[in-house]
């Protein structure tokens, strides 16, 4: 054995070869860093000429070469002990770095689990086997995992510690984003790695002047379709654009010291709309949709090869052009990325469910030596337990046996995806070496990641695998929870007990408890989504349930928030807006009432019943579990439980919801009478909009005995506006329900939806005189495309209705949302009784680009039933009549907050053509 460190003393130096590259210097630095982390001792890095007898010899040193250790491949690596020296070397650019990583992993025990967490064992006495002799090289040329952390390299500097997870696990593809010092990547050049037609031919730049460049769909040239691939000008322009992209990409890489990208994507847009022109259809009919695309790409590739023989043009076999072509094959410098969206995620590629996937892949491989597999490992719907870990080895072995160049595994959702950490780590391992033993790799992860809970996690995975093997259910990236009927009550009961035991095993280990809760989140999702089916099975079989929706919902929400906090902003400022939104969307989908389905979860404050302050001295109030509640718990107010009739009467209709603080006093915001109440079901009651202060508490009932303090909820956001909702279920004759039910009110949550502050244009206007309509109250007509409710950081409410011109189905639809000197944007009102009346025209001169501007329409006499509409298409509507008084002579001012962006409105070409509407105010004069 070779003793590297002992008793706080280091006996080795790290000698770097003469003429070392930056990557080889990084290899030495990585050895130094992680040996220090493990042993507490920092070994000196020296030049090769200063190497001692006891040294790590890093890179192609003279010592390594003289001992015949000379890996040659770009990523080939070798580790060998010769006497007291330890050779750590490899080919260039990345081989030596890979040797260092293998030594750290396999000999010292370091693991890089995910972009946020690593495992470094404590080894104050660090020894290495003096017979160490290992070599290797990754099995696939291209190894990539797309996780959504970075959409492009634009925000990647290489300084983020968390970003090195990919390089350290020997991923080398485009989305590894390894900096120059870590060998860079096998990257795609500008403009992007996929779906590039609309990036090369931006509709806002070309469509108006050259509609002939774009595909004919239903007899009309459409800006939202594809390109006309038989158009000679399109071909000529694409050749030049690809050349320009190569020039720009090379210059960018050279400036950053990165390897030049060798792959350039010429790929169809990610929507349908191939051209229906006779010239295009002739090719499609004879050679197939993929042949139509491939003929075009081959022609571009032939032109590029004359000047850039090293460049590979990349295109897709995907979706409606997944079938191999007839009578045409990819040129030698064309690469096919095979992306079959019908891949079954629940089973291996070798399973019978995936026979069509295999068949088409083999047909493509028969006509091309350059094929990369796009593996959809992600399910965009909330994930139940999906034990795909068991397929990682078999799938990689299959792809290698087929002679594929490599794989891109799409696996977004580092927070929401079932066991993302384990799956992605294993995917990286088997992309590098499909020959690894599956059980060894799985156990290595669970033992180190979950500690004493590893055995329980292994049993959970095994039981999940048995269940998956028992069904032929087909799970793709778009499978919703309705398809997961094969999960049985017995399975869920067993899993719940197993996880309780696992948590007990690591009860004193906060890190492993957190990891275990994240692992358990998929089971919690399953319980929440399939609660009714599981409960029905329990009742029909007379079997007890070892779980509750209340516990699962509370644990799930807390786990998602906990993981988002860990992963949204890690050291080095690795920001993940995709994850942030995915988590909020999933929480909202699972445990938020449908009335607020359009409101981003991060824009609301969710106060569940366990956080209420109850005054129980007079009886009548209890906290109970309630399966009818989305969160499984509530505060129950039972009229017969009060000590006096007078106290009971304080809880009868009208039920008062209000606010109180010592300065502003009592403010009633809503009183619910019998006509307002829907008995025998939970309903979300909108109580009004109010300005909240940290000193406020919200109360329910005239007794004020159900309270919620605002201090910790709106800290730092006092004096802002909130919509206030209370979720309640009323039962019994007192509340208009059945006399067979006890008179009771069940309150499970209070939701505060942030509206921010008022626009400055409304300064001085009494809020009591206005009605504030947020985007979720707008009515959107989306049949023609182009409209969506989105989160928008510049909106005062952080959300808006967005009108995106390029997403309309037809050019006619798009034209209705332009603003020109002769065609203004219309704002009008309509009711059947009064007809349509335009109340505002917005011309180009009225627009303030890239900022929200409030447009005012004043002193309006409006009629009963009037609603507001925007644009000549009327695609955004708002029921402003809800703000009207009963006085027919009352006049109103209307304010609409709008932002315009993009060249169609006279703005920046780099922004898409879009209109954002975030608020509508109706003010009584």
At residue 157, the pLDDT reads 43
Residue 218, Ramachandran bin (φ over 0: left; ψ between -120 and 50: alpha; else beta): left
Residue 160 has pLDDT above 60, yes or no: no
> In whole angstroms, what is the distance from residue 565 CA to residue 561 CA?
6
According to DSSP, residue 345 is labeled: T
Q: 511-535 in b/e burial notation, b at 16+ Cβ within 10 A?
A: ebbbbbbbbbbbbbbbbbbbbebbe
Residue 574 pairs in a beta bridge with: 570
Is the preceding peptide bond at 191 cis, omega within 30 degrees of 0? yes
Beta strands in 779-913 (DSSP E): 779-780, 785-791, 799-808, 825-831, 835-842, 853-861, 867-870, 876-878, 891-901
Percentage of residues of the chain with pLDDT beyond 70: 97
Q: What is the pLDDT of residues 68-98, one digit of tens each?
A: 999 999 999 999 999 999 999 999 999 999 9
> Which residues make Cβ contacts (< 8 Å) with residue 478, sequence separation at least 6?
341, 379, 380, 381
What is the number of other CB atoms lying within 10 angstroms of the CB of residue 821?
8
Residue 308 has pLDDT above 60, yes or no: yes
Does this model's pTM top 0.95? no
Q: What is the pLDDT of residues 668-698, one digit of tens each?
A: 999 999 999 999 999 999 998 888 999 999 9
Residue 576 has pLDDT above 60, yes or no: no
Mean pLDDT of 365-370: 97
| Residues constituting the chain | 925
Q: Which residue has the higher pLDDT, 115 or 246?
A: 246
Indicate the SS3 state at residue 747: strand
Residue 577 has pLDDT above 70, yes or no: no
Indicate the SS3 state at residue 66: helix
Indicate the pLDDT class of residue 15, thresholds 50, 70 and 90. very high
> In whole angstroms, what is the distance from residue 732 CA to residue 744 CA?
6
Q: 331-350 in b/e burial notation, b at 16+ Cβ within 10 A?
A: bebbbbbbbbeebbbbbbbe
Whose tokens are 């794989």? That residue is 407
Mean pLDDT of 622-633: 88
The listed range with the strongest mean pLDDT (314-318, 376-380, 810-814, 862-866) is 314-318
Residue 268, token pair as written in the block: 């169809």
Q: 294-322 in b/e burial notation, b at 16+ Cβ within 10 A?
A: bbbbbebbebbbeebeebbbbbbbbeebb
Q: Which residue has the higher pLDDT, 844 or 591?
A: 844
Is the preceding peptide bond at 581 cis, omega within 30 degrees of 0? no
Average pLDDT, the chain: 92
> Which one, of 746, 769, 779, lies nearest residue 892 by Cα?
769
At residue 579, the pLDDT reads 62
Distances (CA, A) of 386 to 436, 473, 484, 515, 528: 22, 12, 10, 17, 16
What is the number of other CB atoms lying within 10 angstroms of the CB of residue 205?
11
Indicate the SS3 state at residue 635: strand
Whose tokens are 């992007």? That residue is 192
Indicate the pLDDT class of residue 485, thresholds 50, 70 and 90. confident
């Amino acid at each position: 054995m070779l003793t590297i460190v002992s008793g706080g003393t280091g006996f080795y130096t790290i000698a770097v070869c003469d003429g070392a590259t930056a990557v080889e210097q990084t290899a030495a630095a990585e050895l130094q860093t992680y040996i220090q982390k493990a042993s507490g001792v920092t070994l000196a890095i020296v030049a090769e000429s200063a190497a001692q007898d006891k040294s790590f010899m890093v890179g192609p040193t003279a010592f390594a070469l003289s001992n015949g250790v000379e890996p040659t491949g770009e990523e080939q690596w070798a580790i060998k002990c010769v006497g007291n020296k330890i050779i750590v070397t490899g080919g260039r650019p990345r081989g030596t770095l890979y040797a260092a990583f293998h030594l750290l992993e396999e000999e010292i025990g370091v693991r890089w689990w995910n972009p946020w967490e690593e495992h470094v064992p404590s080894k104050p006495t660090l020894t290495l086997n003096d017979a160490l002799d290992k070599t290797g090289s990754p099995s696939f040329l291209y190894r990539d995992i797309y996780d959504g952390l970075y959409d492009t390299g634009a925000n990647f500097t290489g300084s983020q510690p968390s970003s090195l997870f990919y390089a350290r696990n020997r991923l080398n593809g485009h989305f590894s984003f390894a900096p120059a010092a870590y060998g860079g990547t096998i990257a795609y050049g500008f403009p992007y790695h996929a779906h590039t037609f609309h990036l090369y031919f931006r509709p806002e730049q070309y469509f108006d002047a050259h509609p002939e460049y774009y595909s004919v769909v239903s007899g009309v040239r459409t800006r939202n379709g594809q390109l006309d691939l038989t158009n000679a000008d399109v071909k000529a322009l694409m050749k030049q654009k690809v050349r320009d992209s190569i020039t720009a990409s090379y210059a960018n890489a050279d400036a950053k010291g990165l390897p030049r990208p060798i792959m350039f994507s010429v790929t169809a847009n990610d929507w349908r709309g191939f051209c229906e022109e006779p010239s295009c259809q002739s090719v499609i009919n004879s050679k197939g949709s993929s042949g139509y695309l491939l003929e075009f790409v081959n022609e571009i590739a032939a032109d590029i090869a004359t000047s850039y023989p090293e460049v590979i043009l990349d295109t897709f076999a995907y979706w409606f052009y997944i079938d191999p072509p007839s009578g045409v094959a990819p040129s030698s410098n064309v690469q096919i990325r095979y992306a079959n969206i019908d891949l079954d995620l629940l089973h291996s590629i070798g399973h019978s469910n995936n026979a069509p996937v295999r068949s088409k892949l083999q047909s493509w491989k028969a006509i091309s030596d350059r094929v990369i597999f796009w593996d959809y490992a992600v399910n965009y719907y909330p994930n139940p337990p999906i034990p795909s870990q068991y397929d990682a080895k078999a799938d990689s072995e299959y792809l290698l046996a087929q002679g594929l160049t490599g794989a891109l595994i799409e696996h977004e959702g580092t927070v929401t995806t079932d066991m993302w950490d384990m799956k992605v780590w294993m995917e990286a391992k088997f992309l590098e070496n499909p020959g690894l033993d599956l059980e060894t790799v799985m156990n290595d992860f669970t033992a180190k990641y979950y500690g004493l809970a590893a055995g329980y996690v292994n049993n959970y995975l095994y039981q999940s695998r048995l269940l998956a093997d028992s069904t032929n259910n087909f799970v793709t990236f778009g499978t919703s929870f309705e398809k997961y009927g094969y999960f049985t009550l017995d399975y869920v009961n067993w899993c719940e007990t197993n996880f309780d035991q696992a948590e007990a095993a690591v009860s004193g280990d906060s890190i492993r408890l957190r990891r275990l809760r994240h692992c358990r989140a998929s089971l919690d999702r399953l319980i929440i989504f399939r609660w009714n089916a599981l409960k029905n099975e329990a009742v029909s079989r007379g079997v007890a349930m070892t779980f509750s929706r209340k516990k699962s919902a509370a644990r799930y929400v807390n786990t998602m928030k906990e993981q988002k906090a860990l992963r949204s902003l890690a050291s080095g400022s690795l920001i993940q807006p995709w994850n942030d939104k995915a988590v909020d969307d999933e929480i909202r989908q699972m445990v938020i009432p449908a009335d607020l389905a359009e409101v981003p979860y991060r824009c609301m404050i969710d106060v569940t019943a366990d956080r209420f302050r109850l005054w129980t001295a007079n009886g009548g109030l209890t906290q109970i579990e309630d399966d009818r509640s989305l969160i499984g718990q509530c505060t129950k107010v039972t009229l017969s439980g009060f000590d006096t009739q007078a106290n009971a009467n304080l809880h009868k209709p009208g039920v008062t919801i209000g606010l109180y603080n010592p300065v502003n006093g009592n403010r009633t915001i809503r009183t619910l009478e019998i006509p307002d109440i829907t008995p025998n079901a939970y309903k979300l009651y909108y109580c009004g909009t109010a300005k909240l202060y940290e000193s406020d508490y919200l109360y329910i009932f005239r007794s004020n005995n159900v309270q919620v303090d605002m201090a910790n909820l709106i800290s730092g956001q006092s004096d802002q506006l909130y919509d206030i909702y209370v979720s309640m279920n009323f039962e019994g004759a007192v509340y208009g329900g059945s006399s067979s039910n006890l008179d009771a009110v069940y309150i499970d949550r209070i939701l505060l939806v942030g509206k921010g502050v008022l626009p400055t244009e409304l300064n001085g206007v009494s809020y009591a005189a206005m009605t504030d309509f947020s985007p979720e109250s707008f009515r959107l007509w989306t049949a023609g495309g182009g409209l969506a409710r989105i989160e928008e950081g510049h909106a005062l409410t952080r959300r808006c209705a967005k009108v995106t011109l390029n997403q309309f189905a037809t050019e006619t639809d798009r034209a209705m949302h332009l603003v020109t000197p002769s065609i203004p944007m219309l704002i009008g009102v309509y009711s059947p009784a009064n007809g349509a009346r335009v109340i505002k025209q917005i011309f180009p001169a009225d627009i303030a680009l890239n900022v929200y501007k409030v447009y005012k329409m004043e002193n309006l006499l409006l009629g009963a039933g009037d609603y507001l509409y925007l644009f000549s298409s009327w695609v955004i509507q708002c029921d402003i009549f809800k703000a009207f008084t009963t006085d027919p002579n009352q006049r109103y001012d209307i304010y609409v907050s709008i932002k315009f962006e993009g060249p169609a409105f006279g703005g920046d070409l780099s922004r898409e053509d879009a209109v954002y509407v975030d608020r509508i105010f109706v003010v009584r004069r």
